[in-house]
Amino acid sequence: MAVIDTNCEYHGLSRLQLMENAGKGLADEITSRFSEKKVVIFAGTGNNGGDAFVAARHLRGFEIEIFLLGRERDISTRIAKINFEILRKCGYKIKEVRSELSIEVDGDIVVDGMLGTGVKGTLREPYKSVVEAINSSGAFVFAADVPTGLNPDTGEYDTCVSADVTVTFHRIKPGLLRAREVTGEIVVKDIGIPDALEKLTGPGDVQRTYKRFENAHKGAHGKILVVGGGPYTGAPALSALAALKCGADIVTVMVPKKVHKIVASFSPDLIVRKVDGKTIDMSDVSEIEKLAEKHDVLVMGMGSGSIEVAEVAEEVLKSGKVKKAVLDAEAITKNIPEDVECILTPHRGEFRRVFGIEEKSGWEESVRRAAEEYGATILLKSREDIISDGKRIRINKSGNPGMTVGGTGDVLAGITGAFFALNDAFWSASSAAFINGLSGDLCLEEKGFNFTAMDVVEKIPYAIKKALEFGK
């Protein structure tokens, strides 16, 4: 939901609108069951509290008392602050709750708007004491989105609000179904997010997947092995540089001996290894396996120009030395071992060649069906990229016609590998497609349509920064 909220804002459906719809939906559920009662609202300082603030406005005819868990200055989001200020200006009764303040619940109905889907773990004070007070109050309890204290993914909890009704928004969270003893009746409220908009990639994907760790050591943010090259010298270099610009700590490139020096000359940041021969072939399998075992992700196929590379990739994946792989260009294969998590990045021609699936049912369904059948995540490169793991589908609309220039697909493979080092295949592919396209869009803003793949590489850090800062 955090990803969807952020991406909705990015694509024009504001989170303020979504909050209004959520709060109104919560209030409607209360008014459909009760009238002229005293409602005590416990609101956190995040967007879950914002939903409760909206609900207060729509509870006409009720006596309303609001407890804010924290100080007014601690309200953490712009949209929650907007709705809090409306209540303050309208004279609603609001008290700040701090650790030293004991709570007695004096009301017929309680609204739990303290902590939503983004909070997991053991409750701290004053939340723990407030939850205990709510549970011993005897009031009828409505939880906004999820009961405070419940892990929305797993259904686990230590101390948790015991709700009579949980009013959840947009989609039911899996943890709710695993903890029916504390959720009570579950009501799902539509807050106006179209299915088509839910599919779109955006900065929310990047905020979910991009990671930097405190006190990390070299290699903690990803070690990527790029294997390719031959007739197309620059392809593996572009992939490797893209992975570096996307945050990978260590990137090694394995290329044929005759292009080794050329690839090494691209950047001193690259670690370049060579194999004998004009292209990558079956005689190189053992060397690739040895290096792959020391890296988090294998990215393979760019610039090889030989269909034999698919056989090499299949052999390497069978070795048990590779846990994650991104296969591009001639390395794309449908023979994926079950113990390897794999992302395939074909364009439409390569998709037809490898999978032989006609798009009579539409490209989305064709990609989903192929991903399901062959146990991989597929990122189909096109004007609008399609990503599927066989169950879910994402659409990426970032990018522009300037990206038809050669090499941008190689850049995408490298970005995908970098995200993949620290995330699962589906979200990595979604984030990579968005950042690749956004990097191209930044090139368009600066240079018009006449930019190169290397220009796209240089814009990757700026695209990531822009995505991470969006909505903050």
Task: For 248-294, write each residue's pLDDT tens digit.
Answer: 999 999 998 888 888 888 888 889 998 887 788 898 899 999 999 99
Same domain? 13 vs 135: yes
Angle (CA) 384 12 399, round 5° = 25
Residue 206 lies in a domain: no
pLDDT attached to residue 120: 72
- Show the DSSP H helices in 90-194 as ranges: 127-135, 174-177, 180-183
Which residue among 173, 199, 225 closes a domain?
A: 199
Mean pLDDT value of segment 351-358: 86
Which of 199, 224, 241 finishes a domain? 199
Sign of CA dihedral 121, 125, 129, 134: negative
Q: How confident is the model at residue 232 (pLDDT cuts 50, 70, 90)?
A: confident
How many angstroms separate the CA atoms of 255 and 234, rounded?
11
> Are residue 19 and residue 78 in the same domain, yes or no?
yes
Domain end (from 170, 199, 228): 199
Structure tokens at 58: 């729509």
353: phi > 0 → left, psi -120 to 50 → alpha, else beta; which?
A: alpha
Whether residue 193 sits in one domain with residue 229: no
157-176: pLDDT as tens digits: 999 999 999 999 998 999 99
Residue 230: pLDDT band with limits 50, 70, 90: confident
Digit-coded pLDDT (tens) for 23-59? 999 999 999 999 989 999 999 999 999 999 999 999 9
The answer to whether 305 and 327 are in contact (CB under 8 A) is no
Q: Is residue 30 part of a domain?
A: yes
Phi, psi of 93 (to 5 degrees): -80, 110
Confidence of residue 305 (pLDDT cuts 50, 70, 90): confident
* Residue 101: per-residue pLDDT: 62
Q: What is the pLDDT of residues 331-343, one digit of tens each?
A: 999 999 999 999 9
pTM here is 0.90
Please check the confidence at residue 435 and state whether its pLDDT lies above 70: yes
List pLDDT tens digits, range 185-226.
Answer: 999 999 999 999 999 999 999 999 999 999 899 999 999 999
Residue 207 lies in a domain: no
Q: State whether 223 and 167 are in the same domain.
A: no
Residues 183, 248 within the same domain: no
Tell which wins on pLDDT, 126 or 446: 446
Any domain includes 116: yes
**Whether pLDDT at 100 is above 60:** no
Specify the pLDDT at position 258.
85
Same domain assignment for residues 433 and 318: yes
Residue 172 shares a structural domain with residue 75:
yes
* CATH code: domain of residue 346: 3.40.1190.20
Same domain, 178 and 259: no
| 118, 242: one domain | no
Domain assignment of residue 291, yes or no: yes
- 205 falls within a domain: no
How many domains in the chain? Answer: 2
Domain span at 441: 212-469
Buried-state track 17-50, b at ≥16 Cβ within 10 A, e below 16: bbbbbbbbbbbbbbeeebeebebbbbbbbbbbbb
204 lies in a domain?
no
Q: What pLDDT is recorded for position 229?
A: 86
Task: Please indicate, yes or no, whether residues 51 and 182 belong to a single structural domain of this protein.
Answer: yes
Same domain, yes or no: 132 and 233 = no
